[in-house]
Structure 1
Amino acid sequence: MSSAVVLVLQTFLEAPRSARYGLELGAVTGLPSGTIHPVLARLEAAGWVESEWEAVDPSAVGRPRRRFYRLTPAGTEQARTALAGVAARQARLRRRLAGPVASSPLPDEA
């Protein structure tokens, strides 16, 4: 799982039933639109998120319509499981990189 997917899923899991749009996700995660939207498309194709277009008249609000995404109930559980797996792998890697902890000798008391 890429770091971009991890960031997007973590952001969704902060409020799992809240709808978010691409520019908002980019602002929160620090990822560019060219990264966010392919991630969202893959998550939607996998059934982890669902999307819908904002029901506004673009000329009335002075901007293009937004496409809102939210985790599906199954996607919420899958995201939690996947992120727990990522966290476990990262913890194992940190332990391996740290190596054995060498105990330092205590200074002599004078």
Structure 2
Amino acid sequence: MDEVRVTLAVAAVLKAFLEDAAEPRYGYDLMRQTGFASGKLYPVLARLERAGWLVKEIESVDPALVGRPARRLYRLSAEGADAAERALAGVNDLVRLPAPRLVGRPEAGPA
């Protein structure tokens, strides 16, 4: 399993999954929710799948009956749900840090 570096994009995707961790999600749905294009979303999904945080399966539908190809569905694994919660808690802790105070702030010069 690969280690996951939690970037802002990864955090946004994990947040979408954690809104209903039991619900499988498909790419277009995640694209709408995160605002990411496919070129940004699918590498994140692949990274999370390689790490074992996501499980990918093919929707079990008859394409002729539903009028579209079967979707690839992603869901959090049990390990992935725990890891995602820990990762987002860490991101939240970082975001809540107070802004550093500037000591000896430079004065505005003449215009």
Distance 1:40 1:33 in 2: 10
One-letter amino acid of the counterpart of residue 85, structure 1: G
Distance 1:58 1:4 in 2: 32
Name the one with the larger helix percent.
1
Which residue of the partner structure matches residue 92 of structure 2?
87
- Structure 1: tracts of 5 or more residues without a match: 101-110
Residues 52-96 of structure 1: CA distance to partner in whole angstroms, max 9, x if unpaired?
Answer: 00112223322121000000111101000011111111122xx13
Distance 1:78 1:8 in 2: 13
Q: Which has the larger radius of gyration?
A: 1
* Aligned alpha-carbon RMSD (Å): 1.4
- After superposition, residues 1-110 of structure 1 pair within 5 angstroms as 1-92=6-97, 95-97=98-100, 99=101
% same residue: 47
- Structure 2: tracts of 5 or more residues without a match: 1-5, 103-111
Shift of 1:37: 1.0
